Structure 1
Amino acid sequence: MATSNPAPSVYSVTEIIGTSASSWEEAAKNAVETAAKSLRDLRIAEVCKLDMRVDGGKVVEYRARVTLSFKYEA
């Protein structure tokens, strides 16, 4: 029985930062959904860092640093 090997694939990885006034989850979602408008064939999104912007002792913005991988097209 012969097995077929799929063609090798190459993926590109980029890091982006999403923001939200309400939550880290929303910040990460904003990052991915915004990137998806210009990057095709997104495969994996990994939240690699969470932080907040503080102004006057209050949290004013949640930030999520997201690493995205997508299929590389030559």
Structure 2
Amino acid sequence: MKSEQIMSESTKSFEDAIQTAVTRFDATVKGLASAYVNEMYTTIKNGKIDKYRVNLQMTFEVMPPKADDKAKRKKK
């Protein structure tokens, strides 16, 4: 397992900011396992919440290289 820290934001809600992060991160890695919310905060504009922001620790599996990938590395 490996983990990365990321930040995400939404104009709708904290839940939407978390879902946006999960959706985007899942599109770039295989085996996304969990998301831990480190921080939640907002930005304020004209006395109202402007953006909901979350800082997440995303945990995912590190996949072993495919046999084809190993062969390509040896040729280099």
TM-score (norm 1): 0.78
Aligned to 1:52: 42
Residue 46 of structure 1 and its aligned partner are, at CA, apart by: 1.0
Structure 1 residue 18 corresponds to structure 2 residue 14: no
Residue identity in the other structure for 2:41: D
Unaligned runs of 5+ in 2: 65-76
The 8 Å contact of residues 18 and 29 in structure 1, kept in 2 or not, is answered as no
CA RMSD between the two structures = 1.2
Aligned to 2:18: 28
Identical counterparts, % of pairs: 23
Aligned to 1:63: 53
Flag as ranges the 4+ runs of structure 1 deviating above 3 A: none
Distance 2:31 2:63 in 1: 10
Distance 1:50 1:67 in 2: 12
TM-score (norm 2): 0.76
Residue 73 of structure 1 and its aligned partner are, at CA, apart by: 3.2
More helix by share: 2
Distance 2:27 2:62 in 1: 16
Distance 1:72 1:37 in 2: 15
Residue-by-residue CA offset, 1:5-42 (whole Å, 9 max, x unaligned): xxxxxx11101111111110110111111111101100
